[in-house]
Chain A
Amino acid sequence: MDAPLTVSLVGNPNCGKTTLFNLLTGQNSQTGNWSGVTVALEKKPYIDPHLNLHVVDLPGLYSLNTTTESAALDEMLVREYILSDVKCIINVIDASAIARHLYLTSQLIDRQVPMIMVLNMIDLAEAQGIKIDIDALSQRLGMPIIPFCGTNKHHIGLSYIHKALTDYQHQTLPCPRPCIYSSDIEQAIHTCQLALETMKTVSLPVSRYMTIRALESRKPQYPEAISSSLVEMKKKIDQASHETIPFALTSMRYRWVCNMIDKTIVQEKKIAKTMTQQIDSIVLNTYLGLPIFFAVMYALFSIVMTVGQLFQPAIEQLVQAVCVNGVSHCLLQLHMPSAGIAIFASIGQGLSIVVSFVPLIAILFFCLAALEASGYIARASFLVDKIMRKIDLPGQAFVPFIVGFGCNVPAILATRTLPNERDRKLSILMNPFMSCSARLQVFSLLTAVFFTQGSQNIVFLMYLIGIAAALFTGLIMRKTLLTQVSNNLLLELPAYHCPTWSLLFDKMCYKVKYFLIRTGKTIVILVAIIQGLSYFSFTLDEQQKPESILVFISKKLTPALAPLGIIPENWPATLGILTGILAKETVVAVLNSSYDNLSKVSVEQDLSNELPFNLWLEVKAALLTIPEQLNLKVMSRELLNEKDANDTLLSSSAKQMMQSLFTSQTSVLAYLMFILLYIPCVSTMGAIRREIGSKWMYFSIFWTTFLAYMVSVCFYQLSLFCVHPLTSSCWVFGLLFLMVLCIIGLRYIASRMDAQDYRPVIIQD
């Protein structure tokens, strides 16, 4: 059998390519991953196996011109693909905005490959009173035009598309009629093509299309020798005419578009108002717009947190039952040494943490996909652009920040919606300071023990400090590492669509798969390391109760925390911080058990002394957490007000021990600030590494810890200023000096990056 032919779906963003793609390939077909940096190009076999065809879904774009050096990666990919690999194009067009969409068509026609045009949303156009003479338009363009309606159940257009594709298979589908430009421009194209051919540095034969791309693009991606002579050539042409070549071509294209739609498209009587306009007049209303926006954001946040956390403990415990306890049990039966069991159990622990994020991520991306597909995300950007601009980020960046208050991991993944690399980095680096719900548990526990009144205010203060730290980070980053200016805002408000369930599920599954495979890898490794440290000890003496490496390290580290009021005997506080790197949820449990058993040195679990393993009981216990979680929702709301609630979380002996070891309320506050600001958790770090690379992850680890140390020490020392002014001021000024040094260092690094012609980091596997 011959290699399958390919057809590519090309069109502006939001014109319904993906819906058509799913219809053309069927829902059940396998997704073939494109090798490369992003999975931007999706390729699936055509639904009817009689035609040996593959369909490629390309990301939407407005124009084939390269505009910036740092153009969105997937756009570059499309241009590259159309230049080299494309064989047949299905041009998807929004029938309600034909003129705008035909601009891209005119560029595609230059490529001179067989083309099919699909007029999508034909129903919407009809509703707006737009009459299209399809036959005449098809004649003028020289390609078949198929009216189509993606949301219609019957999909009448599909059979016509099938027919056109059959023609393509039989090689009877014609190339479209070429656009002929004005004689000046044709002359320029001709000269330029000859010049490019004589240079012979390009491997491909020089096509008319390539020449036009080279003339039209702002920064053509060609070897140095060619681009410099191109610039010369362009200058000559520019001097001859009064316009620069790219703009002459642009006006030419719009003139061509006007010719095409003249008399073939008629706007009949103005109809009152489309549905989109009616919705917008409420949703973007001067007075109602922002309240509605905040209501939507609140709804998003609470749905994600409620539903996500409902299943989180159940799934975590299930996986733990199987992968940690089950595996350890089996290995124990096989008489494996306990060290080996510990290694397996650590990896199992890592897996259970990764899997526990799945419900959260699934529900978040389901909701986000719904908001995005319906068209509301674009409106949200429109509404809050002015606020976000104050921190030099586009309006879309608002969503990850909101999500960050629930959990930083999905929040960091959600930054993918930001078009610009630099904006993404900035919001990812600021995100860890958004205080997540896991940190709230630590806050409420400690404040309830130490502050009889006003614990809510303390918690609220923590949130504010977190936001301040994020703003500070943003400011420093913009002045040092991420100095590039944000792109101008050019935001399109698409017509509202009702998204299909299958689309939302597809997007959700894709994100979950992506998270499990890519981000999960890092998280499992990091969790396994920390878990391992808490299992193993330096002393190999089996008789003596061994001290785990983690406890050993925390005892050694405690003196370093003395300036924020942690006395050396209070090493469980340090242990809490160290295990908090794993996940903030563990802090409460660790604090409880280690303060409770302070006489016992180790907090490790003794594997051999466990209860007999019973998978069924564990599974049952895991599933029971779902109703428990429902009750807990009610309880946690009372947690801040009712001190009694904490007795269930904290034994009274642990409470007394804690009260005796923390010397003052200010030291507790300083400790809380540290918990708030330092490394949120390994999962967040894994997400950062996946999104923007290891270097930025290490930087984030350094920066969060440094900032946490600085803020908490400065706070504690200033509170003791009256007691020992000299020591306090030494600490404060010393740390401020370090911060200044750090900023200078960052500037130095930034200048070196500039010198090396800094390119945006490409996400690697």
Chain B
Amino acid sequence: MASIALNKLLKNEVGRVIHVNANDLLQHRLAPLGVVPGLTIKMIRTAPLGDPVEYELLGCHLCLRQEDAQLIDVELLRD
């Protein structure tokens, strides 16, 4: 399945992380939070002003800005 950027996920859609294109530093900060290839991530909601976006992964709720989420490639999972 073709990969899409994480910020393209719609509400309640689930994706599996394929690749993180972020710079070294951001990757280092994302990794312990569970943004690593192979794990799934679910889009919960966008903030009222359109940015940032709330995601659920590994049972935690994490907010990322659109520009950062754009750097994460996911494959859309249909369930």
Contacts and interface: CB of A to CB of B under 8 A. Distances in A.
Q: Which of A98, A100, A251, A381 has the most chain B CB atoms inside 10 A of its CB?
A: A100
A289 interface: yes
Contacts of A97: 58-60
A362 B38 CA distance: 47
Interface string A257-289: 000000000000000000000000000111101
B38 A286 contact: no
For chain B, give the interface size range.
20 to 34
Given A488-B29, A490-B62, A254 B36 contact: yes
Contact of A493 (B24, B34, B48, B62): B62
Contact of B51 (A63, A99, A386, A492): A386
Contacts of A289: 47-48
Nearest to A125: B59
B10 interface: no
Interface residues of A, number: 39
Contacts of B58: 97, 99-100
B61 interface: yes
A590 interface: no
A662 interface: no
B52 A382 contact: yes
Contacts, number: 110
Mostly, the A contact residues are helix
B30 A490 contact: yes
Contacts of B37: 251
B25 A68 contact: yes
Contact of B49 (A68, A103, A285, A387): A387
A96 B63 contact: no
Contacts of B27: 247
A262 to B, nearest CB: 14
A67 interface: yes
Interface in B25-79: 25-34, 36-39, 45-52, 54, 57-65, 68
B21 to A, nearest CB: 13
B24 A100 contact: no
Nearest to B61: A493
Given A62-B33, A289-B47, A490-B33, A254 B38 contact: yes
Nearest to A254: B36
A218 B25 contact: yes
Interface string B3-23: 000000000000000000000
Q: Which of B32, B34, B51, B61 has the most chain A CB atoms inside 10 A of its CB?
A: B32
B48 A100 contact: no
A674 B62 CA distance: 45
A254 B28 contact: no
A27 interface: no
A104 B36 contact: no
Q: Which of A98, A290, A488 has the most chain B CB atoms inside 10 A of its CB?
A: A488
The 8 A-B residue pairs with the shortest CB-CB distance in the complex, in nearest-first order: A63-B32, A97-B59, A100-B58, A493-B61, A386-B49, A491-B63, A62-B32, A289-B48
